[in-house]
Amino acid sequence: MSAKVQVQTTINNEPVQFLCEPRQSLLECLRDIVGLTGTKEGCGDGNCGSCTVKLGDRIVTSCLVLGVEAAGESITTVEGLAHGSTLHPLQKAFLDHAALQCGICTPGFLIAADALLQKHPHPTEEQTRFWLSNNLCRCTGYDKIIRAVQAAAIEINGAAQ
């Protein structure tokens, strides 16, 4: 085992320091060291998107990032979306549109959709499907997720011009 490394980072706007081995993924660090278990592990090789987090200005699959690479970075996980007990509009839209069943993929979809709406306030269906193609869901058949994201876009950014 190689020496553990101290990593100083910002998670959900809070300064966080953790100690990890270089071989540990950011996903492992978040879940097993920091204790933020909202981010889920699916495939472990970057295909399914369930471990999606925001890292700096873009989204990544945290299974394909080393914890040590997060030093000095700002991370947003699903725990950072709600304000206290008030759900983020995306979270509310997912509930309203039944955009989840088992829920394992949901944290990844929420983070990815949040990044989409920051980049494209009123994404088309095609843009939404293309952007979310790195997130797999085995329950919903996707249509409900797409509808939830589009409803949240209107809720957050108003009706498209």
Partner 1 sequence: MKAFDYAAPASLPEAVGLLASQPSARLLAGGTDLLVQLRSGRKDADVVIDVKKIPELNETTFSPTDGLTIGAAVPCYRLTDDASIQSHYPALAEVASWIGGTQIQGRASLGGNLCNSAPSADSIPLLIALSASAVIAGPSGRRAVPVEEFCTAPGRNQLAPGELLVSIHIPAPAPFSGAAYLRFIPRNEMDIAVVGAGASVTLANGVISAARIALSSVAPTPLFVPAAGEALLNQMPTAAALEAAAKIAQEAASPISDMRGTAAYRRHLCAVMARRALELAVARAQEIK
Q: Which residues contact 14 (CB under 8 A, 6 or more apart)?
A: none
Please, which residue, 96 or 134, has the CB nearer to partner 1? 134
Say which amino acid occupies 33. I
- Per-residue mark of binding to partner 1, 95-124 (x: CB under 8 A): -----------------x--xx--------
The C-alpha torsion from 24 through 30 and 31 to 36, rounded to 10°, is 170
Nearer to partner 1, 2 or 161 (CB): 2
Site string for partner 1, 1-40 (x = CB under 8 A): xxx-x---------------xxxxx---------------
Asked if residues 141 and 122 have their Cβ atoms less than 8 Å apart, the reply is no
69 interacts with partner 1 by CB under 8 A: yes
**Rounded-to-integer distance, Cα 56 and Cα 74, Å:** 5
State the residues that interact with partner 1 by CB under 8 A.
1-3, 5, 21-25, 44-47, 49, 52, 55, 58-61, 63-66, 68-69, 112, 115-116, 129-135
